[in-house]
Structure 1
Amino acid sequence: MSPKQQRGEVTVERVLDAALDLYAREGEAGLTVAALTRLSGVSTGSVYHHFGNLHGVISALALRWLGRLVGELSTALTAHQDARSGIEAVIHTYLDFVRTQPAAARLLHSPFADQEGTARAAEIRDNQEARLTPIEHWLDGHRKAGELADLPTPVIETLVLGPVIGLARRWLTLGDVDLEEAIRLLPDRIWRSVSP
């Protein structure tokens, strides 16, 4: 990698780190190019050069954290040999991510991320394919072995992640959920919905 490319990567990282910090403190409304340049020390021209516009910054930030979350979920799932412990590990990993990375989780569960997900679903899926493929293989293998309900993969994913995402959104927005209690209760309830 050339020195210019290295400087470019450092610039991108600085902008994304500053963007998450601003988002955590002030929400999407506080995330402006002026605030980004002030906090990151990166010039306005560099922000536009690397991201195109503020929308591009937020999109890149969301994709960065989606990749990290999907990577953690894939690692947690595929580390387990039996279906139940794998499904339970996914639930624990997701909720632990929400608890330990609340700003990133808030961004990933935001209306902006929902709109991006809808508008760019195929592109996002292609971007995450390397992380999603092991999950699909794991689910398919356990379904074929009779360890998971004979349901299509998207249905299993929805039954597992739907309640977790709903709970995460509620905790992030209203804060009226005991996350520790949910981590104890949800795995068994969700497992019942996907067990054979």
Structure 2
Amino acid sequence: MGRPSRKDEILQAALACFSEQGVDATTIEMIRDRSGASIGSLYHHFGNKERIIGALYLEGVGQYARLVEDGFSGADSAEACIRLLVACYIDWVVANPEWARFILHSRGRVEASEMGERLREANRLHHGRIDEVLRPHREAGAFRKMPRECFVSIVIGPAQDFSRHWLAGRTRTHLADCRELFMDAAWEAVRARQVRLVSMP
């Protein structure tokens, strides 16, 4: 793996500052000092703090999207696809707890910012790719019928909710230890129920 770019260094410095000081209390000067970048370099790459916040958010959700994208190539069944969505989410959160905490608390701010349209486009592309991969399984009747808008929330929602509690230190159980449980629960929640016909005497 190559050396991080100056842009990546600034984002990681910003994440450290946001985690230690809070997003609102962090200044451009703090990020500059932490990253070792010049003010000129920082403004060249981002322009202002709100764009740093947006870029950090987009990079984090983009990493999850890339994990899913890479994993889809080996997911050969409807169940494997659903389990992959949950596994990638949990794995990314466990590997990046500070980043995940930032994302969970910053969505509204980014959506309302000048980066909001980029976030909506990234989400549209990501969910479009998920729909594309799941479409053959859906058409084959692998999933129970439900509004399309509910599907991803039902799959990821329980793991995301527990992640919030884990990241806040409100659980005794480690998130990674629940990985299989949430994968099982997601599949059970969306899989089609096969009804066995019984002949009456």
Correspondence for 2:109: 115
Residue among 34, 40, 43 paired with 1:45: 40
Measure, in 2, the Cα distance between the counterparts of 1:74 and 1:148. Answer: 20
After TM superposition, the score normalised by the length of structure 2 is 0.80
Alpha carbons of structure 1 residues 170 and 127: separation in structure 2 relative to 1, 3 Å: same
Q: Does 1:15 align with 2:10?
A: yes
> Which of 52, 59, 81 pairs up with 1:86?
81
Q: Where do 5+ consecutive residues of structure 1 fail to align?
A: 1-8
Task: Indicate the residue corresponding to 2:150 in structure 1.
Answer: 155
- Calculate the TM-score normalised by the size of structure 1: 0.82
Number of equivalences? 187
* Residue ranges of structure 2 left out of the alignment (5+ in a row): 193-201
Q: Post-superposition shift, 1:78?
A: 4.7
Larger Rg: 2
Higher helix share: 1
- Larger RCO (CA within 8 A; separation ≥ 6): 2
Preserved CA contact (<8 Å) 1:98 1:105:
yes
**Pair 14,180 (structure 1): closer, same or farther in 2 beyond 3 Å:** closer
Tell whether 2:140 aligns with 1:145.
yes
Per the TM alignment, residue 150 of structure 1 is displaced from its structure 2 partner at its CA by 2.6
Contact 1:77–1:135, Cα closer than 8 Å, also in 2: no
Q: Is the 8 A contact 2:94 2:176 kept in 1?
A: no
Is the 1:59–1:116 contact (alpha carbons within 8 Å) kept by the matching residues of 2? yes
Listed as ranges, the matches of 1:44-63 within 5 Å are 44-63=39-58
Q: Percent identity?
A: 26
Rate the CA distance shift 1:161–1:118 in 2: closer, same or farther, 3 A: farther
1:173-192 to structure 2, matched below 5 A, reads 173-178=168-173, 179-192=175-188
Residues 125, 148 of structure 1: CA spacing in aligned structure 2 closer, same or farther, 3 A cutoff? same
Of 164, 167, 175, the match for 1:169: 164
- My pick for the range that moved more, 183-192 or 72-81, is 72-81
Moved more, 112-121 or 142-151: 112-121
